[in-house]
Amino acid sequence: MNISGCRFVAAFIALGIIGGRAVYSQKHADGTASSTNVRFTDIGGTAGVNFRQINGASPEKHLAETIGSGGLFFDYDNDGWIDILLVDGGSLADPAIARQARHRLFRNRGNGTFDDVTSSSGIRHLGYGMGACAGDYDNDGRVDLYITNVGPNTLYRNAGGGAFTDVTRTARVGSPLWSTGCAFADLDKDGDLDLFVANYVSADGKHNPYCGNARLNIRFYCHPLIFEPRPSVLYRNEGNGTFSDVSEQSGIGAIRGNGLGVVIADYDDDSWPDIFVANDSVPNVLLHRTGPWRYEDLALRAGVAVAIDGMARAGMGIDAADYDGDGRLDLVVTNLDFEMFSLFRGLGGRLFTYATPESGIGSTTLPFVGFGAVFFDFDNDTVLDVAFANGHMLDNPAQFRAGASHAQRKLLFRNLGARRFTDVTSSAGPGFALEKVGRGLAAGDIDNDGDLDLLVTNNGQTADLLRNDGTSGHALVVRLIGTQSNRDGIGARLRLTAAGRTQMREVKAGSSYLGQNDLRQHFGLGELTRAERLEVKWPSGRVDVVEDLPADQIVSIREGSGIADRRPFGK
């Protein structure tokens, strides 16, 4: 992130170029092209998700104060209703404030309202909290939790009964650096989840230079480039409750970047997961597997390291999905104001093209400092839309640009098809009208009604739980249960075909900014009431196919067995 002013970035458009696969136009059942009938309403307070992030903001302007924190959806008690974890920050300047910080675990009551069950969970706040990711690393059927910090990270093993146990030391995953985004994935296809942790910079509170304008007597948060970049960490799951740090062996340890957002997905369809890291003010990183526990950074050659002018942007949040329906993964990365958020469209052949302006996202995002990013089909019209959580880095931006604000509204872009989006924020309801200092953004169906809701974390403010109301389209939600593969099916690729069109999803544990989406995969079906075919390609290599699936239900697919459970949506 940087505080520089306007920079004319050459931004380009595909002049009607159509890719090799079908690119379609969609009729939208919900609303017109430039608006939506779907409304998002913040129900955080009424739903019981009462949480205000303690950022420890101080006159000394420790950088950590403005970075966090994140949050995620996960079903820790396996009752079929997703729960919420919210990471709290703390204070690097005042121990008394630091002691007030508490992560919060909210259990879904089964109707989209929540109970705070933190006190009985065993989850404790340590250090200064950043983000989290969740995955069943020991395949015991209960999803575990990894929380990143400024300082040692923490791995909580889900012991069942609502209790988590800190197993960091035995698991050997307590990286002491300032960690940010994390993601679980089975990187060696041995059936268990490995762990990737992005690390940021050396600003841990002990070294905090003065950054400001003495003449105007204002202090601001330092640019991250003032600090030393940190290498990310890669942990191999040994299958016995422990991990090994394979960062050096893998080549990842030699790559130093200001890592923030992480997403793991197979971008080149070679069946091996690849690791994307959004780096702050230095080129993004795309770690491509070249062999067993060997990775090479191909970001520059792939076209996702920098923007079109060859210069890095302030990469914060990141998500990967196939937004144009051509069967290839695409990427979105949020950036600082006046940089535009970066949309990279997959071309195949391990290449991406910088597709920001052609997409309709470009100029709209210019005034925003973006963090969380999520591809999701909010209106169930079969195409992936995108949302962003925004909020300035600086708590005093008006000092630098009159009219700039710390709190910013979120953005919601509707996918129009033909690789274009339109900004529908203004019609998306009161939840999107809120101006806050947005950070994390996660999508999940909190009330199992078949549409995706959003969890938003805000720096120094209350979290938002935006319930999705108003969509009339049909949908299908798929939960995976691995047997040979990891229990959550993380890394599995799903292809759902309905009315001759195929949607693709990949199960990711860790994405956006410092958080994670609901692991269940949501497919909007529009007016269709059934899907002809669902194909699941598991990390193990096994392919399961289910045919003739009625819409409007949550189906659980067990590896090798097919449908293990069905539940209709509860509307």
Determine if 310 is a binding residue for other proteins (CB under 8 A).
Answer: yes
Instruction: List the one residue out of 375, 405, 377 whose CA is nearest residue 391.
Output: 405
Q: Taking contact as CB under 8 A, which single stretch among the options 58-66, 396-404, 502-510, 554-562 is the one that binds other proteins? A: 396-404
Q: Taking contact as CB under 8 A, which single stretch among the options 181-189, 217-225, 267-275, 499-507 is the one that binds other proteins? A: 217-225
Report the alpha-carbon distance of residue 334 to residue 344 in Å, rounded: 11
Write down the least CB distance from residue 371 to other proteins, Å: 18
Determine if 17 is a binding residue for other proteins (CB under 8 A).
Answer: yes
Determine if 376 is a binding residue for other proteins (CB under 8 A).
Answer: no
Interface with other proteins (CB under 8 A), residue from 301, 484, 529, 568: 301
Burial (0-12, 13-18, 19+ Cβ within 10 Å), 26: middle
At 356, which helix (H) or strand (E)? helix 356-359
Burial (0-12, 13-18, 19+ Cβ within 10 Å), 123: buried
Give the number of other CB atoms < 10 A from CB of residue 202.
Answer: 17
Interacting residues with other proteins between 158 and 177 (CB under 8 A): none
Instruction: List the one residue out of 397, 412, 408 whose CA is nearest residue 37.
Output: 412
Determine if 571 is a binding residue for other proteins (CB under 8 A).
Answer: no
Q: What angle do CA 174, 84, 64 make, to 5 degrees?
A: 50
Q: Taking contact as CB under 8 A, which single stretch among the options 72-80, 243-251, 352-360, 478-486 is the one that binds other proteins? A: 352-360
Determine if 225 is a binding residue for other proteins (CB under 8 A).
Answer: yes
Write down the least CB distance from residue 382 to other proteins, Å: 25
Which CB sits closer to other proteins, 123 or 312? 312
Which sign, positive or negative, has the C-alpha torsion 158, 161, 163, 165? negative
Which CB sits closer to other proteins, 117 or 347? 347
3-state secondary structure of 424: coil
Interface with other proteins (CB under 8 A), residue from 39, 294, 401, 501: 401
Which CB sits closer to other proteins, 350 or 533? 350
Determine if 254 is a binding residue for other proteins (CB under 8 A).
Answer: no
Which CB sits closer to other proteins, 401 or 501? 401
Give the number of other CB atoms < 10 A from CB of residue 160.
Answer: 13
Write down the least CB distance from residue 418 to other proteins, Å: 13
292-305 core/surface letters (b: 16 or more CB in 10 A; e: else) = ebebbbbbeebbbb
Determine if 206 is a binding residue for other proteins (CB under 8 A).
Answer: no
Which CB sits closer to other proteins, 226 or 481? 226
Token match 């490995």: residue? 194
Determine if 6 is a binding residue for other proteins (CB under 8 A).
Answer: yes
Quick note: the x/- pattern for other proteins over 268-297, rule CB under 8 A, is: --------------xx--------------
**Continuous H helices in 132-277:** 168-171, 247-250
Interface with other proteins (CB under 8 A), residue from 44, 259, 325, 357: 357
Determine if 363 is a binding residue for other proteins (CB under 8 A).
Answer: yes
Q: Taking contact as CB under 8 A, which single stretch among the options 72-80, 359-367, 377-385, 432-440 is the one that binds other proteins? A: 359-367
400 with 91: CB under 8 angstroms?
Answer: no
Give the number of residues in contact with other proteins, rule: CB under 8 A. Answer: 53
Q: Which long-range contacts (CB under 8 A, 24 or more apart) does 344-353 make?
A: 344/303, 344/304, 345/419, 346/267, 346/322, 347/19, 348/20, 349/268, 350/267, 350/268, 350/288, 350/298, 350/301, 350/302, 351/302, 351/303, 352/302, 352/303, 352/304, 353/14, 353/303
Residues of this chain that interact with other proteins (CB under 8 A) are 5-6, 8, 10-15, 17, 209-217, 222-223, 225-226, 282-283, 300-301, 303, 306, 308-312, 337-338, 347, 351, 353-355, 357-358, 360, 362-363, 366-367, 399-403
